[in-house]
Chains A and B, each alone.
Chain A
């Protein structure tokens, strides 16, 4: 709660420090020359009041679940976020799942084949994955898989003009399934795969590298040698003993993975016309849409706190020794 309050204060102060009057771009060059129109705009958006009053009004409204109205969309920020957050979450979930499912096994392979050709190849590939700019990868993926191979659609969450499923979770794939709209679910999944894979590329590389180094730290420990000496199959040794010991390090990186997904989403969502929180934050920033900037800041902060909390809890689940501390 204190953290959230601090975040609102910092976000409010920062948005006020940015030079420029949103009225000028919102009203255009001619109307903004009319002081009456500018005054009407300021009054309409509550910008004519002293800053402390504006902030306290914001807090009061926030306590009542009102994040204000976006100057850009002319709709309540909460309504905008209600549409944008599930779009990003759907992308993030698939992207993170893919990053884990691919990254962890690749890390294991690289570690147990240390200094062999496959290890070198994976290290080079993962280095490339981390170094490659996301926007470039997104354009390349579109060119190859949409334009050349015609495997995936070129952007958006659904085919143009398709009515979305009734909102239950806001995740189109899940909502369509829950409504029994199978072709719509397929359409949503079809649109989801390519941006999710692009967004996952960086994290696959990151997880591969973290998993590899975490496994290398424990793979020659005494208890691992003891397990092998007992005649356990290597598969069991690696999965039950080595991987489990390495998991806390991998879980730590999941916090970073989530952060990467949120930052990468700004670029990926823009190129794939994905109406998520990244696009919303980008538009709000360049147009100085103060209520929207405040809403996004609050959301991102809450997500970070929650993810870190979940990661802390997961440590205890994975390693019982940590529960006592």
Chain B
């Protein structure tokens, strides 16, 4: 009986030794401290959505943070404002027909290698963007670029394009050093989609004039930027910026531990748990993203959704305030398809209100007994902390109350997009994020627009509204545009096959010593603007 005890004592002694060793390691770790946010380093925690940091190829949120830090644009936005401000261009003129835009460049701008930035670099960058036929190419669709002299750039649009001034600040229109990019296989010629070979270079070195240069890039772990000693503008506060890939749950812990740290992907609910805690600053507000429901107007796809009475019934059956609550503090009901931050958005009084009696009456008036609809949604997609699956279930429950039965079909994003783009969904739980902060980006929802075509709502189905949309698209004056877009919004709230639900709450949590750590409208964070108290 004593022998087993001896062996077990030995084994236990070994285990104790291991535990002690682990404890020693752990305590040494504690003693060593955690200098994750050393003086002069800004740490940005985000769940990476990044394919590339080649400015003219990229269009993802994480890429925009990095590219915005390394490359300058002709114009810019400050904070959450959507008013274009001078940057590389010190002034600009717009023709009365909003087809010609002439920008006068600053003369004191140099790239990180010391080369002066001229109009040739702007022309190269923009033509490269167009001819690469990548994700951001549509931003300059129908635009021709020229440079009458070294410090003037002219953009000519084939159609009136008053949105162009709000497109130009997009980081995808960041200016690259044409000499360096050409030396490394870049081209702006037609056919660049096949012949341009500069991307590998731009993944390892930057070629911009911004306050930061690329130190290292790994699209799975972190992107490190270092201050550009040649920078022509005000020096950034931080010598180093580390953009780090972390899931939201880990961001929640990290931002409480770190200094000079920002967490970008916490849901409003997660962020609200940090309110009142010392050392962190929490900002929540309504995002410019828009959650909505689309229904197909083609009777071949669904006799039910094509019925105008059913469309109206759905509009009044949805419980909008409960959708807003789902997103948490800061979210708002979308007054129309244009989010509240942009020109031409509707006032809160224009929001659709739930009216179950009216919805039930419309179902009866439709002449369809026991209407059934199949609704598709992207099954694994979560945006601003909100799962599309949850939204779809809520929609189903709302419509069930007025006698419309909804069958839910969840699909992976790629599969969802394929059938959605082909206009095959009778009903979709959908979403739109702004490509640029201008109401023209929302013309896709008017008859004959990109999103409208996906629900088979062509211009012929509502020619008056289509004509009004065309007029709004070409109007130059912001005041007149705002009035026209409001008029369009009111009509759409009555008869469009889109039901705007809500603008979700978005949150940014940062160390309390940081200033200007705010979520931008287009780029998630402008690292060059972040400072300390």
The residues of A with any CB-CB pair to B shorter than 8 Å are 18-22, 24-34, 36-37, 40-41, 43-44, 72-75, 83-84, 101-102, 105-106, 108-109, 112-113, 118, 139, 142-143, 145-147, 149-157, 159-161, 163, 186, 189-190, 193, 228, 233-235, 237-238, 270-273, 275, 279-280, 283, 286-288
Contact = CB atoms under 8 A, between A and B. Distances in A.
Contacts of A106: 11, 15
A150 B34 CA distance: 8
B279 to A, nearest CB: 13
Given A27-B134, A106-B15, A153 B417 contact: no
A237 B411 CA distance: 59
13 contacts: A20-B413, A21-B417, A26-B51, A102-B15, A109-B12, A118-B8, A150-B34, A154-B250, A154-B257, A159-B35, A275-B221, A286-B413, A287-B414
A233 B3 contact: yes
Contacts of B4: 112-113, 234
B7 interface: yes
Contact of B221 (A101, A153, A234, A273): A273
A31 B138 contact: yes
Contacts of A83: 218, 220
Nearest to B30: A151
A272 B254 CA distance: 11
Given A75-B219, A84-B220, A159-B36, 7 more contacts: A20-B415, A33-B450, A37-B138, A150-B34, A152-B26, A153-B36, A163-B216
Nearest to B261: A160
Contacts of B221: 156-157, 273, 275
Interface string B376-396: 000010000000000000000
A161 B8 contact: no
A234 B1 CA distance: 10
Contact of B59 (A28, A33, A108, A161): A28
A234 B7 contact: yes
A272 B450 CA distance: 40
A146 B413 CA distance: 34
A32 B450 CA distance: 10
Contacts of A19: 411-412, 414-415, 418
B18 A37 contact: no
Contacts of B415: 18-20
Contacts of A155: 244, 246, 250, 254
Contacts of A44: 193-194
A39 to B, nearest CB: 9
B250 A271 contact: yes
B445 to A, nearest CB: 12
Given A21-B414, A75-B203, A160-B36, A105 B257 contact: no
Contacts of B8: 108-109, 112-113, 118
Most buried by A among B57, B245, B414: B414
Given A233-B6, A270-B247, A40 B25 contact: no
A46 B141 CA distance: 25
Counting chain A CB atoms within 10 Å of each CB, which of B18, B256, B418 scores highest?
Answer: B418
Contacts of A36: 133
A190 B24 CA distance: 12
B188 to A, nearest CB: 16
B494 to A, nearest CB: 25
Given A101-B18, A153-B34, A156-B221, A108 B414 contact: no
Contacts of B491: none
B135 A275 contact: no
B220 A279 contact: yes
Contacts of B25: 189, 193
Contacts of B418: 19-21, 24
Contacts of B451: 29
B43 interface: yes
B240 A37 contact: no
Interface in B210-236: 215-216, 218-222, 224
Contacts of B32: 186, 190
B134 to A, nearest CB: 7
Contacts of B193: 40, 44
Contacts of A43: 194
Contacts of A273: 221, 244-247, 250
B36 A26 contact: no
A275 B450 contact: no
A186 to B, nearest CB: 7
A112 B9 CA distance: 11
A222 to B, nearest CB: 18
B455 to A, nearest CB: 14
A235 B246 CA distance: 48
B218 A108 contact: no
Nearest to A36: B133
B408 interface: no
B199 interface: yes
B37 interface: yes
A230 to B, nearest CB: 13
Contact of B253 (A31, A108, A142, A286): A142
Contact of A161 (B41, B51, B257, B432): B41
A108 B11 contact: yes
A118 B218 CA distance: 48
Contacts of A41: 133
Interface in B406-432: 411-418, 421, 432
A74 B246 contact: no
Nearest to A112: B4
A30 B432 CA distance: 11
B305 interface: no
A288 B414 contact: yes
B51 A108 contact: no
A270 B220 CA distance: 10
Contacts of B412: 18-20, 286
A24 B414 contact: yes
A139 to B, nearest CB: 6
B435 A30 contact: yes
Contacts of B57: 74
A74 B199 contact: yes
Given A24-B414, A160-B37, A275-B220, A143 B12 contact: no
Nearest to A270: B247
Contacts of B35: 159
Given A31-B137, A40-B193, A235-B10, A105 B218 contact: no
A22 B43 CA distance: 32
Given A43-B194, A153-B36, A190-B32, A283 B220 contact: yes
B118 interface: no
Contact of B244 (A149, A156, A190): A156
A283 B246 CA distance: 14
A271 B252 CA distance: 12
A234 B3 contact: yes
B521 to A, nearest CB: 17
A44 B135 CA distance: 14
A160 B41 contact: yes
A133 to B, nearest CB: 13
Interface string B113-148: 000000000000000000001111110000000000
